[in-house]
Each structure stands twice: as C-alpha cells, then as structure tokens.
Amino acid sequence: MELQIIKTGDGSQTLYVPAMDEQYHSTNGAVTESNYVYIEKGYLFNESKKPTVFEVGFGTGLNCLLTALLAEKQERCTTYYTIEKYPLDKEIIQQLDYGKIISAEAQTLFGKIHDCKWNEPVEISKYFTLIKLKSDLITNNLKDIRNCDVIYFDAFGPDKQPEMWCPEIFNKIFAITAINGVFVTYSAKGEVRRQLTKSGFEMERIPGPPGKFQMMRGIKKK
Ligand SMILES: C[S@@+](CC[C@H](N)C(=O)[O-])C[C@H]1O[C@@H](n2cnc3c(N)ncnc32)[C@H](O)[C@@H]1O
C-alpha cells in the first residue's frame, strides 16, 4: 500500500493513504490530536492507579509513545495492549521518528516500542509494559484480555473502514472493558454513538481537538 508522509498543522508528521484518501492522524496536528483525544481525555481522565490500556490500531506508535512517556513521568504502572493488522515498514517509522521531535527520552522509548517483539509482553521501561498484537481485530476474539481501564479507539474513519465501527467490534470491546473504564475516539458521528450506546457504553460528546468541533467519550458503568 502506498503511503505518503505529510506535515500537519502543529509541525509533526503523519501518514496519508492515497488509496483510501485517509490519514493516520488529524491534518491539524498529529501530536496535538493524540495528546488531546487519547492522553488528556482518556488516559488522564481514568483514575486507575495501574491502568490497562487497549488501543485499536497501533499504526505509527504515536499514542503508545505519548502514553509511555506519561506513565514514566507519573510513575503510573501501565499495561498497554495494541492491535495492528498491517505493521508499518521500518523505513517509514524511521522517517517519522516522533521521539526525535519530543525529547531524548522519547527517542529511546520510540525505538524500543518499535523494535520489541510482537505478541508477547515486553517491559519497555520501569512503568510501561507493552503487548503488541499483530492481528486482525475483526477475527481476533481478544479472549486473554480483560478489565481494560482505557480504550483508545483509533481505527480509520467510519466512512473509510465501516467494518471496524460495527456492533460486533463494539460488543467485543465492551466485554474487555473494566467497570468505570473509559472509551475515547476522535469520531463524533451519530451512528457510531448509537451503536456504542447499544453495546453498553454511556456516551457523551465533548469538545474535540483543534480543527474538530467534537469527539466522543464513553464509560462502562455496569
Ligand atoms: C488511524 S490509524 C492508527 C493510528 C495510530 N493509533 C497511531 O498512533 O499512529 C488506523 C490503524 O488501524 C489499522 N487497522 C486497519 N484495519 C485493522 C484491523 N482489521 N485490525 C487491526 N488493525 C487494523 C491500520 O493499519 C492503521 O494502523
């Protein structure tokens, strides 16, 4: 699949997929969007002292890197599951090198996050354990995963990849979410909200990152 590296509004880069006319992050700012949608509204919103995170779509590893940095800073022991069907080539990762634009610590973590083995737990740093699943979310039943405190739902858009935004997937995600667990996504689409509500999440629309009016957050109350 052809991928193009493009610059976004905050100066950080992302990937554009011409075949889908879709990008990995917001063109208004990749790092800004990740920090706002997933870190601020998800990871920091949840109060668990030792959170388990589940991410849909590892992609460039940017959400993962930002979470690892905060886990270390806050000494908050974090277990991070992420699933990816189409891992990116090393050359693309090296060109993006999000670590480089953030800090020396980020650069080291970014390397470890990408170099570590798939499908087994790896201690990336003192407070951050990563399990990268090289797998298809549509067919994987996530049977060994439970009690996730934070869900980062970062699939390609519902108009571009509708099969990722359907009741079967949302029910599966609901089943692995802990009580009081938080679900965040950049999408604010009405149909997505209705499906997530049917799956059991109590959904709300909240202000979105720069360039986006709203995003969605859900809680598993029971
Ligand atoms: C919007 S991008 C994710 C961006 C990523 N979170 C980041 O920080 O770079 C969506 C990701 O979902 C992955 N994906 C698409 N279909 C999938 C599937 N069926 N199962 C698992 N991952 C899938 C894509 O390859 C892509 O990496």
**Model confidence pTM above 0.85:** yes
Domain 29-219 in CATH 3.30.420.40? The answer is no
The pLDDT averaged over each successive group of 10 residues in the chain (222 residues) is: 95 97 97 98 98 98 98 98 97 92 95 97 98 98 96 98 98 98 98 98 98 97 96
What pairing do the DSSP bridges indicate for beta strands 4-7 and 202-207?
A: unpaired
The two tokens of residue 194 are: 């209705």
The two tokens of residue 202 are: 């109590």
Question: Who's near 15: CB < 8 A, 6+ residues apart?
Answer: 3, 4, 5, 6, 23, 24, 59, 60, 88, 92, 96
Index of the ligand 1 atom closest to the CA of residue 137:
20
Cα 120 to middle of ligand 1, angstroms: 19
Cα 105 to middle of ligand 1, angstroms: 25
Q: What is the pLDDT of residues 44-68, one digit of tens each?
A: 999 999 999 999 999 999 999 999 9
Q: Cα angle vertex 82, ends 211, 112, to 5°?
A: 95
CB of 169 closer than 6 angstroms to any ligand 1 atom: no
Q: Cα angle vertex 63, ends 13, 110, to 5°?
A: 75
